[in-house]
């Protein structure tokens, strides 16, 4: 059994538990996870009897190469995807009565159409089952891929530091970083990098602009690499340009303390909200509670944001094999911000920081350009 069959086997157990005849996978990432198919615009009908991929002309040859042995229904140009999905559900033998749908991604329009044209079938909303119950825990091959994604990102930052000059803009720094990641073997960034100078670092989702790196104090870099097979790392370092201020050092060390306390707590069985609270308490006790407005972190994998989520009211328990970011921050509008982010594998006994080759003590952040 190859790894995609193993994953579909886990989905079959969900099908059985929910007393379904079939599960209709409409998330493109989930289709890819369950089959190895790297294209888009395709759906998967998983049943105990067989697995059928509904795709189109453009992918005929690609499907033969990437998913040999999978049943395929190739629609022609004049048949749209929903029509082909209806057809595949009608044709299935034995006849389908209860079909699970991914209610967190399926559109209202598609559901209305399926329900309208297939009155004999009950469509059962099953939200995020593949994400929460299967993809959240990585298999050995995925952990290797994530190690590679982290390694590539680490090498990328080393490159960026090596070529930085005060005259480089945030945008150019971002372009150079992605180009370097690709030359190192990555498919590119895992998400549009955030490279933020000075007070822009107070914007947790800033896009790199035309500001010069200069010597304004703060250079926040939040970036990651995507491997050729689609696995994504996500790291942040807050670098220091010019003369380091004592305020920056103080804020930096609070964030670092919060991050290290949270990582130290990571182990199978702990609730995500408890890990989040450990970091949040450190920051609140230092008087910056209102300045850390996002969740502590999230799973990574084929998507940049996966389960589990570190946030208040996130009761999911950690399990060995999960890979998560830990990324507390303090943001002071008009002044700047500090965020420190590493990628962490939950092991049987605790945690392994995958991104440990990048230093993160305050003194190590000071650049001399």
Residue ranges in contact with its own copies by CB under 8 A: 38-40, 56-62, 76-78, 101, 103-109, 111-112, 125, 127, 171, 175, 179, 182-183, 202-207, 293-295, 311-313, 333
Written as six digits, the tokens of 360 are 């993160």
Minimum CB–partner distance for residue 333 and its own copies (Å): 5
Residue 296 or 354 having the CB closest to its own copies = 296
Q: What is the dihedral of CA 12, 13, 16, 18, to 10 degrees?
A: -110
Specify the residue, 138 or 314, whose C-beta has the smaller distance to its own copies.
314
Asked if the peptide bond before residue 94 counts as cis, ω within 30 degrees of 0, the response is yes
Nearer to its own copies, 39 or 268 (CB): 39
SS3 17: helix
C-beta of 291: minimal distance to its own copies in Å?
A: 10
- Farthest-apart Cα atoms in the chain, separation: 72
- Nearest approach in angstroms of CB 304 to its own copies is 12
- For residues 203 and 286, which CB has a smaller minimum distance to its own copies in the complex? 203
Q: Which is nearer to its own copies, 236 or 354 (CB)?
A: 236
- 125 or 359, CB closer to its own copies? 125
Taking each helix axis from N to C end, the angle separating 140-163 and 170-183, rounded to the nearest 10 degrees, works out to 130
Chain CA centroid to CA 55, Å: 25
In the bound state with its own copies, the residue whose beta carbon lies nearer, of 17 and 80, is 80
Least Å from the CB of residue 38 to its own copies: 7
Task: Pick between residue 229 and residue 347 the one whose CB is nearest to its own copies.
Answer: 229
Task: Please return the burial class of 17, using the count of CB atoms within 10 Å of its CB with bins 0-12, 13-18 and 19+.
Answer: exposed
Cα 105 to chain centroid, rounded: 16
Q: What's the distance, CA 74 to chain centroid?
A: 30
CB of 41 to its own copies, least distance (A): 9
Nearer to its own copies, 203 or 367 (CB): 203
Q: Minimal distance in Å, beta carbon 81 to its own copies? A: 12
Least distance between its own copies and beta carbon 289 (Å): 11
Residue 356 Cβ vs its own copies, minimum distance, rounded to whole Å? 27
- 276: part of which helix (H) or strand (E)? helix 272-285
Long-range CB contacts for residues 142-146, cutoff 8 Å, separation at least 24: 142/231, 142/301, 142/323, 143/321, 143/323, 143/345, 145/227, 145/229, 145/231, 146/231, 146/233, 146/300, 146/301, 146/323, 146/343, 146/345, 146/354
Q: Residue 131: helix, strand or coil by DSSP?
A: helix
Q: DSSP letters along 223-250, please?
A: E-EE-TT--B--EEEEEE-SSPPHHHHH
């Amino acid at each position: 059994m190859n790894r995609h069959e193993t994953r579909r086997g886990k989905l079959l157990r969900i099908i059985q538990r929910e007393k379904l005849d079939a599960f209709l996978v409409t998330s493109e990432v989930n289709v890819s996870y369950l089959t190895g198919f790297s294209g888009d615009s395709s759906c998967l009908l998983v049943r105990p009897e067989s697995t059928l991929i509904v795709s189109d002309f453009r992918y005929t040859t690609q499907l033969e190469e990437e998913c040999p042995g999978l049943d395929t229904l190739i629609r022609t140009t004049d048949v749209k995807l929903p029509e082909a999905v209806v057809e595949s559900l009608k044709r299935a033998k034995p006849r389908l009565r209860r079909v699970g749908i991914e209610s967190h991604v399926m559109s209202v329009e598609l559901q209305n159409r399926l329900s309208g044209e297939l009155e004999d079938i009950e469509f059962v909303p099953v939200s995020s089952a593949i994400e929460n119950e299967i993809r959240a825990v990585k298999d050995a091959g995925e952990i290797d891929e994530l190690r590679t994604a982290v390694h590539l990102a680490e090498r990328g930052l080393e490159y960026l530091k090596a070529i930085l000059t005060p005259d480089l803009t945030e945008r150019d720094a971002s372009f150079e970083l992605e180009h370097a990641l690709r030359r190192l073997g990555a498919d590119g960034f895992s998400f549009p990098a955030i490279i933020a100078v000075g007070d822009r670092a107070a914007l947790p989702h800033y896009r790199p602009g035309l500001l010069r790196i200069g010597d304004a104090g703060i250079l926040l870099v939040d970036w990651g690499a995507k491997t050729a097979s689609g696995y994504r790392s996500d790291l942040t370092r807050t670098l220091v340009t010019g003369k380091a201020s004592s305020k920056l050092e103080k804020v930096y060390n609070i964030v670092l303390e919060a991050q290290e306390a949270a990582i130290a707590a990571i182990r199978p069985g702990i609730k995500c909200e408890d890990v989040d609270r450990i970091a949040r308490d450190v920051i609140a006790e230092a008087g910056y509670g209102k300045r850390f407005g996002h969740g502590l972190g999230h799973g990574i994998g084929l998507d940049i944001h996966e389960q589990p989520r570190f946030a208040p009211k996130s009761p999911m328990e950690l399990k060995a094999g999960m890979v998560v970011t830990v990324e507390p921050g303090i943001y002071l509008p008009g002044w700047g911000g500090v965020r420190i982010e590493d990628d962490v594998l939950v092991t049987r006994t605790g945690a392994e920081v995958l991104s440990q080759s990048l230093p993160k003590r305050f003194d190590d952040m000071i650049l001399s350009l």
